[in-house]
Amino acid sequence: MKPSETRPLVAKTRGDVVEMIHRGTYVVVDTDGKVVHAHGDPDMSSYLRSSAKPFQLTPTIERGGHTAYGLTQRELSVMSASHSGEPVHLDTVRSILHKADIPETALKCGPHLPGDEQSARVLIRRRMVAQTIHSNCSGKHTGMLVGAKVAGEPLDTYLEYDHPLQQQILRTVSEMADTPLADIAVSRDGCGAPIFAIPVKRIALLFARLGSPDGLESGRAAALTTIRDAIMAAPYLMSGKGRIEVALMEGAPGKIVLKSGALGVFGMGLPELGLGIGLKIEDGDGVTRNAAVIQSLRSVAEDHLGSEFLDGLWKRYCPAIYNLRGELVGETKWIGD
């Protein structure tokens, strides 16, 4: 990432003084990859991080994993999730593992405390140690295990770069993003799974095609439609309590499909408009990411979604700044285009 590739997006003030400026890039494209709107360099490269999850699930669906084990939309949604580790998420992941007869010990995503504060406190009060099932990526890893099992491939090496499933995931990203394999940087995500870096405009293209896959090969289009519909039908399962992902999809049912990623990455598809949005915040700031999500939607879909809806999201997720005494001391201001 180079400073010339990003633009100022959000200012945080204290009194009358701008105390901090956050920079980033966002790009809007159609399903052919034509750039409709951009703020910053559309060719800036970024790792997809967890925004890759719907596309990491795609080969499992193309292989028929969901039908072989009778998986529901809620279960497909949690396999696309960065979930908060609430009981409903853990129960749903365990349901998939039970249906596919895969032991919980097969998960290799590593443990961490639930992202949901209440669920984390329950573990701490009970002096329990977090397990791999609590990882926000346990649903994704379960999806990978299902994909490997339905194809008769090894489960114990499912995270290796040369595993057939991981190679198919990489090809899927390459094909859907119109990006040659040689141009995709591959590393490991926080959960140990292979992850990919592509230009932000290509992240936008992935989500444009997730939202509107009809122009793709029929098998690929059917798999993406299955994933898209599951995410939109059960957004809580791929997210969690109080998160902007749930507010967006529940507040505009059928109009947005999306996935967040670590360090300020976000992808959105607008099925009825045939558009996709990709964004990356330079310093990974969460409030700035939320602001860019809302303002990028405003730039191309305000009439479609409604200004009142977007204004409400701004008030909730880009709040004024208060000190510890409850005094109003500043605000979050959009300074992008």
Residue spans of beta strands (DSSP E) within 121-251: 185-188, 194-199
Residue 171 to residue 50: CA distance in whole angstroms: 17
Whole-model pTM above 0.85? yes
Contact call for residues 281 and 28 (beta carbons, < 8 A)? no
Where helices occur in 43-99 by DSSP H, the ranges are 53-62, 65-68, 73-78, 87-99
The whole-number pLDDT of residue 121 equals: 95
Kindly report the number of other CB atoms within 10 A of residue 110's CB atom.
Answer: 16
Predicted local distance difference test score (pLDDT) of residue 2:
78
Chain Cα centroid distance, residue 91: 21
Q: How many domains does the chain have?
A: 1
Whose structure tokens read 């793709």?
A: 216
CATH of the domain at 306: 3.40.710
CA atoms of 268 and 245, how far apart (whole Å): 10
CA atoms within 13 A on the CB side of 290: 21
What are the average pLDDT values for consecutive 10-residue runs of the chain, which has 337 residues?
A: 88 96 97 96 97 98 98 98 98 98 97 95 93 97 98 98 98 98 98 98 98 96 98 98 97 97 97 98 96 96 97 96 96 92
**Gap between the Cα atoms of 292 and 281, Å rounded:** 8
Please give the residue range of the domain that contains residue 268: 3-334
Distances (CA, A) of 327 to 11, 322, 324: 19, 5, 7
